[in-house]
């Protein structure tokens, strides 16, 4: 997973999270081959059947073991980024890895379970909590969201009326790179933005693979747009 800040300067943080073994792996009596050393932010990959093997060591900005919590990942990895977005910067959280590695769990998590909420719903709480703060009572906010899917090199609007409509990527001197005619929805509360996210997630392309029976089979981007205005003296 990467977190990136894009403004006058760009800062990229690379984090690795190891998921616990699933029921299929446990039934097959699979052995863990990864060791997480959080004190040094290292991932050690070794051979379980060769105790003398020192393994390969990789160092990152942050690492999370299989017993890491959703809140821990958010507070350390995503919280500073969302704070910078509130300060006016662009922010991106990009989760990647092979199918079944836990991207959807980390980003979205489990519905109606506060301890298992992923980065996106935790960001909702964070952002709307910021708006509701008494310190920001003099400010006005406009919050919008969009949700797109990239499948077979085609862009689909997950919040649009027609999923069969293919969208195009455009470039503008002022806007930069953007998706034309992408639906953006104004949201005024956490339940409302959660409803849009759930609606779009349910419309994603899914299909069973050998490694993941609920594989999304695509890439998706959920974007929150924050506009702030404040009346001066």
Range with the poorest average pLDDT among 22-26, 120-124, 179-183: 22-26
Mean pLDDT of 122-141: 84
Domain shared by 225 and 115, yes or no: no
Same-domain status, 83 and 119: yes
Nearest to 82 by CA among 129, 139, 144, 126: 126
Q: Choose the final residue of a domain: 134, 154, 173.
A: 134
Q: Are residues 127 and 185 in the same domain?
A: no
CA–CA separation, 206 vs 220, rounded Å?
12
Same domain flag for 28 and 106? yes
Same domain assignment for residues 223 and 198? yes
**Helix intervals (H) in 70-140:** 70-73, 79-86, 103-107, 119-132
Q: What percent of the chain has pLDDT over 90?
A: 49
Cβ-based neighbours of 112, under 8 Å, separated by 6 or more: none
Same domain, 93 and 176: no
pLDDT for res 212: 47
User: Residue 157: what are its φ and ψ, rounded to 5°?
Assistant: -90, 105
Domain span at 170: 138-233
Number of domains in the chain: 2
Check if the beta carbon of residue 158 is closer than 8 Å to that of residue 146.
no
Do 123 and 184 fall within a single domain? no
* CATH number (domain holding residue 77): 3.40.850.10
Q: Which of 78, 107, 134 is the last residue of a domain?
A: 134
Q: What is the mean pLDDT of residues 205-212?
A: 55
111-140 average pLDDT score: 85
Domain match, 175 and 98 both: no
Q: For 144-200, what is each residue's pLDDT tens digit? A: 999 999 988 899 999 999 888 899 999 988 888 889 999 999 999 999 999 999 999
């Amino acid at each position: 997973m990467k977190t990136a800040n894009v403004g006058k300067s760009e800062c990229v943080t690379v984090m690795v999270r190891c998921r616990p073994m699933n029921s299929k792996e446990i039934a097959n009596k699979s052995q863990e081959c990864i060791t997480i050393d959080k004190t040094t932010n290292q991932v050690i990959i070794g051979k379980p059947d060769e105790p003398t093997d020192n393994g390969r060591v990789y160092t990152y900005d942050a690492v999370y073991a299989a017993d890491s919590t959703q809140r821990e990942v958010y507070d350390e990895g995503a919280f500073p980024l969302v704070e910078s977005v509130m300060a006016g910067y662009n922010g991106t959280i990009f989760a990647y890895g092979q199918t079944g590695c836990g991207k959807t769990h980390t980003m979205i998590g489990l519905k109606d379970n506060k301890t298992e909420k992923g980065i996106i719903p935790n960001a909702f709480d964070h952002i709307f909590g910021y708006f509701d703060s008494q310190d920001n009572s003099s400010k006005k906010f406009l919050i919008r969201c969009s949700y797109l899917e990239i499948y077979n090199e085609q862009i689909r609007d997950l919040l649009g009326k027609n999923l069969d409509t293919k969208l195009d990527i455009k470039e503008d001197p002022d806007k930069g790179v953007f998706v034309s005619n992408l639906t953006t929805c104004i949201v005024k509360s956490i339940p409302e933005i959660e409803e849009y996210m759930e609606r779009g997630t349910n419309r994603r392309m899914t299909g069973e693979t050998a490694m993941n029976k609920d594989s999304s089979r695509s890439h998706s981007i959920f974007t929150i747009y924050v506009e702030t205005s404040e009346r001066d003296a």
